[in-house]
């Protein structure tokens, strides 16, 4: 549940941590609402490619 831009620009980890912080606050305020225990945000997305760059293309871009 991340936008492609947030993943591409490297903000996915930061957003994931912020979501966990909000979920932790909600859990602390109302633990009775969470029957399965402490909630966790969805896992970080894995890279998806239409045309995956080759190693040579990666070196040129760097």
| Residue bearing the bigger pLDDT, 29 or 2 | 29
Reduced to 3 states (helix: H, G, I; strand: E, B; else coil), residue 32 is helix
The predicted pLDDT at position 62 comes to: 66
Neighbouring CB atoms inside 10 A of 16's CB total 19
Q: What are the φ and ψ backbone dihedral angles of 30, each rounded to 5 degrees?
A: -145, 70
| Residue 1 pLDDT exceeds 80 | yes
Q: Check if the beta carbon of residue 45 is closer than 8 Å to that of residue 2.
A: yes
How do residues 3-41 score in pLDDT, each as one tens digit? 888 887 889 999 999 999 999 999 999 999 999 999 999
Distance CA 34, CA 30 (A): 8
The secondary structure element, H or E, covering residue 6 is: helix 4-8
| Residue bearing the bigger pLDDT, 47 or 33 | 33
Mean pLDDT of all residues in 28-55: 90
């Amino acid at each position: 549940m991340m936008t492609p831009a947030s993943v591409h620009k490297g903000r996915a980890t930061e957003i994931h941590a912020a979501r966990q912080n909000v979920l932790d606050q909600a859990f602390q305020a109302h633990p009775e609402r969470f029957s399965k225990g402490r909630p966790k945000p969805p896992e970080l997305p894995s890279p998806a490619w239409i045309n995956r760059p080759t190693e040579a293309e990666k070196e040129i871009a760097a």
